[in-house]
Amino acid sequence: MNKLRDFLEKYITRKIGAEIKCCLTFLLILCYYCVYRWVCGSEGADIIHMLEMLWAAYILEWVQVLVHCDFDEVDRLGAKELTLILSGSVVYALSGHLLGWFDGNTAICIGFGVYMIVCYLCTFWVYAIKRSIDAKMLNSDLKRFKERENSSLY
């Protein structure tokens, strides 16, 4: 029963992390798309494009999780992580171009790819800050626990 519980805990932890990444990525794509549409003078967004963006984010983020490419959870960016950031951004830019999110405008698609690189780097940075804060909180909790334990011994 413990093996099943351990498996479920790992699965749920991984699934929650992947779902958060999928939602964040979709939101970032949608922001770029909406700004593009607004600059072009449109006040509407194509629902089909939004569904394509959602599926693109969902598929690519899950692929990265399934092949253990959680680049945002490493301590520093190496060649593997930078390659994943670049390739993921290229996939999103190509998706935008091939699916017509940006009306076939190649310059806007290249800009979108660069935007996604910046988004990936910012995500890495935010996760690094969060890990640092979590570590400080855990160390503080451990220190208080040890002090409490030591005071109860006397």
What CA–CA distance (Å, rounded) separates 28 from 89? 12
The pLDDT of residue 146 is 81
Q: Are 88 and 60 contacting, i.e. CB atoms less than 8 angstroms apart?
A: yes
Specify the amino acid at residue 107: A
The pLDDT of residue 71 is 64
Question: Is 54 strand, coil or helix?
Answer: helix
pTM (two decimals):
0.83
Q: Encoding tokens for residue 151? A: 């005071």
The pLDDT of residue 105 is 95
* Tens digit of pLDDT at every position of the chain (154 positions): 788 888 888 888 888 888 888 999 999 999 999 999 999 999 898 999 999 999 999 999 888 887 766 666 777 788 888 888 899 999 999 999 999 999 999 999 999 999 999 999 998 888 888 888 988 998 888 888 888 877 766 5
Q: Domain-by-domain residue ranges, the chain?
A: 2-153
